[in-house]
Chain A
Amino acid sequence: MSDFAVVGSILAAMFAAATPLLFAALGELVVEKSGVLNLGVEGMMLVGAVCGFAVTVQTGSATAGFVVAALAGAATGSLFAVLTLFLLANQVATGLALTLFGVGLSALIGQGFVGIPLEGLPKLNIPGLSDLPVVGQALFGQDVMVYLAIAAVPLVHLFLYRSRAGLVLRAVGENHTAAHALGYKVLRIRFLAVMFGGAMAGLGGAFLSMDYTPMWAENMTSGRGWIALALVVFATWKPVRVMLGAWLFGGVTILQLHVQGMGIDVPSQLLSMLPYLATVLVLVMISRDVARIRLNAPACLGKLFHPDA
């Protein structure tokens, strides 16, 4: 294999490896912009992963699998929303509990599905372009979910910064008392945001189980939900930066796999740590600007709101 081909396949694999993170982190970004901190991303991803996988195995339709995965993620998210928004449970504790709940529930649902293989999604090989050297496969030979995740970046950006609904959502996250005084339904807006975040996490999880490594294994998200959470904060709540962070994580994941494959004498556990370490380090460095964080962080993040108080 020529050097170009190696680079090309690393790039192609990087976009795929970044996709679950991109879905989950974009969803969480919208949730946090509305002022809710949902630490249950990992749990929602797992529920989405197992439900999408199970439905695809049963029906043979990947489309049905992804739709159900999104619905399952949203349903798990709405459980969190009911507890924190209406019953005023602490968001941090509830989010942690949601992750544990998701781990257990997905293992239970997935019992009968361990070891069943799936085919994964077909690649959309765009004639002509996907044969280009180096970038051909990476840019024009991915499957539809990879493109959907990337398309979601400008869509989320346009929604948040150009649409009126996005403006209202940011306002609710910035100052919920003032938004309430102006007559906006703080709880309803947050509920919808949490459902969206859950659906996106579900899609991210399903991409893992149905496409990236098309099989079900317990705990298969292996911490990607937590990385997605970190990405949102370190990307200072900006969709494009979230995407760059996800690509970085994906790139290092693939690189370390290649290094492991070359048989260099480094314990594989150390190499497996690298993507997490690299993402956190780089993002900490670019987010050292305190002023930027203050300007972009939703001021009401994690604060409980009660309309009558």
Chain B
Amino acid sequence: MHSHAETPPLEAALPRLELRGITKRFPGCLANDHVDLVLQPGEIHALLGENGAGKSTLVKMIYGVLHPDGGTLLWQGRETVVPDPAGARRLGIGMVFQHFSLFDTLTVTENIALGLDNAGPMDALATRIRTVSERYGLALDPDRHVFHLSVGERQRVEIVRCLLQDPKLLIMDEPTSVLTPQEATKLFETLRRLAAEGCTILYISHKLEEIRALCSRATVLRAGKVVGACDPRQETARGLAEMMMGAELAMPERPPQIESGKARLTVRHLSTTSDNPFATNLKDVSFEVRAGEILGIAGVAGNGQAELMAALSGEVLVADANSVVIEGVAAGLLGPRARRALGLAFVPEERLGRGAVPELSLSENALLSGYAREPLVRGGMVHFGRARAYAETIIKGFNVVAHGHRAEARSLSGGNLQKFIIGREILQRPQLLVVGQPTWGVDAGAAAAIHKALIALARSGAAVLVISQDLDELFVLSDRISVLFHGRLSDSRPTHETTVERIGLLMGGLFSTPPDEDGEIVRAV
């Protein structure tokens, strides 16, 4: 990036990267079909598309993780083959992955050294990390272990790792899905500064407002093909979404809340302790969810969401039975099945492994949580006919795209599996539904369907608790919003009385809480 000023004008006129007719085939699907893409020096270029449109496949080929079956790649005007990620880094291509490629038990310096081909001695590298992180406003302590870091800090590790290689092209895959709005704003400043220095940025995101604010050009992929290019600043978010889907977007409507009923879930002074050093303990969390309403809990991942989910579902029992009360029954010491019998249903954040068993068919997965409240088991024996019928009902009712009830859960795309799991829970007519990250990694169409179903469930008299990192989602769904930070929960606010900015500040820890037992004051960012 420093060499930009000295670049001769002829070369500056060449695109940084040009893809011509790139094709990639996987067994049973054509992931990229003759994709053309031109990236100019210093531009921030958005790559748009729904899940499965082929965005990840395309950037993995640019970064050398995958190899195209056809087509050519021109790097600064020269035809190039990117053999592997190390080769990509030598060319000057850096990539920040959606799922960070970090190693929890290693330090920041060690993690960065792993991504550099000429890391040099560790001390010197630590100094270089400090210099670069200060220059771009990415505060980072090189000696800390990664598992101590917040998600935003982890992302900084990835970005600094790329910056140390003086990249000419930086690929960012869904970078803000884990950041607070304020952290995202800060990231944009860094990216704009990089672009001004001549670095090209290829930016992948689901968040269309963000793309409109940041990017000057956008290429839209659908089913592996380029279906359009535009200047996102000239388009509306809705227009962009419809270009991605190739259909009209049905936005969920939120009918006015009915008179809120009795408390179906009451959590009082819930605190947890864990042996796991990576866990965040809950500290004195109290809230209630009433019949007919949706309570949203916002917060950046790793602030106690997983622990709250486990304490509510019964996966982890809490010390005091009275700290979790479901339908008036003290349930803190009851296991998941007993809680389901009280009317609780839940959709865990992890779809494969917690929400569904990857190797089992959809009808078997339907049975796993459905048998508690649907007549699927008789005298200890499974009634397979009914289980199949139940699975088919879910598949039809929630428009799940799958090869029937026999399809293995892992064969479904994330959005379709999520629709299936949410359908399975909702069709049991629960009085109380707890959902973690309902639309994480789910495309716009499926997300709208899921939101609609959740709102309908609440309006039919159930209480719904949604734990999510996605503020836009919480503002669409919730009647009230609370924020989880470092294991503490803020007071809830009615959604119509608050703003994304104010909730964002709370997500950064800006609410008054008493100091921790160990004297640490909850930090304000």
Decide: B113 and A167 in contact? CB cutoff 8 A.
yes
CB distance from B315 to the nearest CB of A (A): 18
Stretch of A74-82, A117-125, A179-187, A214-222 on the interface side: A179-187
Does A175 sit at the interface, judged by CB under 8 A? yes
Does A287 sit at the interface, judged by CB under 8 A? no
Does A260 sit at the interface, judged by CB under 8 A? no
Decide: A175 and B103 in contact? CB cutoff 8 A.
yes
Decide: B84 and A171 in contact? CB cutoff 8 A.
no
Of all chain B residues, the one with the shortest Cβ separation from A294 is B277
**Segment 126-144 of A: residues with Cβ below 8 Å from B:** none
Decide: A164 and B85 in contact? CB cutoff 8 A.
no
Decide: A167 and B85 in contact? CB cutoff 8 A.
no
Decide: A164 and B84 in contact? CB cutoff 8 A.
no
Decide: B85 and A183 in contact? CB cutoff 8 A.
yes
Q: B103 is contacted by which of A171, A290, A291, A294 (Cβ under 8 Å)? A: A171
Decide: A183 and B110 in contact? CB cutoff 8 A.
no
Decide: A179 and B114 in contact? CB cutoff 8 A.
yes
What residues of A have a CB within 8 angstroms of the CB of B101 in the complex? 175, 177-179, 181-182
What residues of B have a CB within 8 angstroms of the CB of A167 in the complex? 106, 110, 113-114
Does A150 sit at the interface, judged by CB under 8 A? no
CB distance from B64 to the nearest CB of A (A): 8
CB distance from A106 to the nearest CB of B (A): 37
Of all chain B residues, the one with the shortest Cβ separation from A167 is B110
CB distance from A163 to the nearest CB of B (A): 11
What residues of B have a CB within 8 angstroms of the CB of A179 in the complex? 101, 103, 114
CB distance from B81 to the nearest CB of A (A): 15
- A171-B106, A174-B104, A299-B104 known; A182+B278 contact, CB < 8 A: no
Decide: A174 and B106 in contact? CB cutoff 8 A.
yes
- A290-B275, A291-B277, A294-B276 known; A171+B114 contact, CB < 8 A: yes
**Segment 35-54 of B: residues with Cβ below 8 Å from A:** none
What residues of B have a CB within 8 angstroms of the CB of A296 in the complex? 105
What residues of A have a CB within 8 angstroms of the CB of B1 in the complex? none
Q: Compute the total of residue contacts between A and B using a CB distance below 8 Å.
A: 58
What residues of B have a CB within 8 angstroms of the CB of A294 in the complex? 276-278
Main secondary structure of the interface of B (DSSP, over half): loop
What residues of B have a CB within 8 angstroms of the CB of A181 in the complex? 65, 85, 97, 101
Does A266 sit at the interface, judged by CB under 8 A? no
What residues of A have a CB within 8 angstroms of the CB of B104 in the complex? 174-175, 299
Decide: A183 and B277 in contact? CB cutoff 8 A.
no
Decide: A174 and B277 in contact? CB cutoff 8 A.
no
Q: A295 is contacted by which of B65, B105, B114, B115 (Cβ under 8 Å)? A: B105
Does A170 sit at the interface, judged by CB under 8 A? yes
Decide: A183 and B106 in contact? CB cutoff 8 A.
no
Against B, the Cβ 8 Å flags (1 = close, 0 = not) of A166-198 are 011011001101110111100000000000000
What residues of A have a CB within 8 angstroms of the CB of B275 in the complex? 290-291
What residues of A have a CB within 8 angstroms of the CB of B89 in the complex? 183
Of all chain B residues, the one with the shortest Cβ separation from A295 is B105
- A182-B115, A294-B278 known; A174+B105 contact, CB < 8 A: yes
**Segment 453-502 of B: residues with Cβ below 8 Å from A:** none
Does B267 sit at the interface, judged by CB under 8 A? no
**Segment 103-160 of B: residues with Cβ below 8 Å from A:** 103-106, 110, 113-115, 119, 147
Against A, the Cβ 8 Å flags (1 = close, 0 = not) of B367-392 are 00000000000000000000000000
What residues of A have a CB within 8 angstroms of the CB of B102 in the complex? 175, 178
What is the interface of chain A, defined by CB distance below 8 A to chain B?
164, 167-168, 170-171, 174-175, 177-179, 181-184, 290-291, 294-296, 299
Q: Which 9 A-B pairs have the closest CB atoms?
A: A178-B101, A183-B85, A290-B275, A183-B86, A291-B277, A174-B103, A181-B101, A183-B84, A171-B103
